[in-house]
């Protein structure tokens, strides 16, 4: 999630102060990813440092309004026109947990899957209930539902992946998957780009 670009995009509509930016961000994301004000001001200061926003004068209530610069507007246009890059390096805790459980002697990977499936099904049920109970055709309601729909699709994909993992593990005897500690001395340092590319 890019807080930086999201705040810039909101400022492209007009000058805002910190709490106002937080409120506008929440309106557009259904408060699913709440931001604290400190995070907003830290981001604004970095944006100012990079020449993408300018700090205006304070109003009578002491609110300091921030305005987007031409460079900031260009950055918003570039962000909206660019696809979101899904990094291969992002660590998925569940994938790591199941990979380790599947290769750990004595671990019951099937039980790990069943426990996760129950939690994932419960989470999907909560999201679906929330989605059905809040039908709202307003722009704010649409924004919220888009975020919740994304979370629902992610939960559904996780359940399909768990089924896939269980099928794959069922094709191998448990002892065939166990990895004992190696006696081989590992190389020092990080894997080379060539080695990482071979794993991708």
pLDDT confidence of residue 50: 96
Average pLDDT, rounded, for the chain: 86
pLDDT confidence of residue 122: 96
Q: How confident is the model at residue 96 (pLDDT cuts 50, 70, 90)?
A: confident
DSSP characters over 51-103: TSEEEEEE-TT-PEEEEE-HHHHHHHHHHHHSPPP--TT---HHHHHHHHHHH
pLDDT in tens, 145-169: 888 999 999 999 999 999 999 999 8
pLDDT confidence of residue 104: 79
């Amino acid at each position: 999630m890019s807080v930086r670009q999201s705040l810039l995009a909101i400022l492209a509509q007009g000058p805002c102060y910190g709490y106002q930016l937080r409120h506008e961000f929440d309106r557009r994301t259904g408060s699913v990813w709440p931001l604290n004000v400190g995070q907003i001001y830290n981001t604004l200061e970095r944006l100012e440092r990079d020449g993408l926003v300018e700090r205006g004068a304070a109003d009578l209530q002491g609110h300091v309004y921030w305005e987007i610069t031409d460079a900031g507007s260009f950055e918003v246009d570039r962000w909206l026109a660019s696809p979101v890059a899904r990094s291969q390096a992002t660590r998925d805790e569940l994938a790591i947990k199941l990979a380790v459980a599947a290769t750990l002697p004595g671990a019951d990977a099937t039980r790990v899957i069943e426990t996760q499936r129950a939690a994932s099904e419960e989470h999907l049920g909560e999201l679906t209930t929330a989605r059905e109970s809040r039908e709202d055709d307003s722009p704010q309601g649409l924004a919220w539902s888009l975020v919740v729909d994304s979370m629902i699709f992610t939960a559904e994909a996780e359940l399909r992946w768990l089924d896939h993992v269980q099928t794959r593990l069922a094709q191998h005897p448990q002892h065939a998957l166990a990895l004992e500690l190696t006696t081989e001395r590992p190389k020092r340092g990080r894997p080379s780009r060539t080695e990482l590319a071979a794993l991708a």
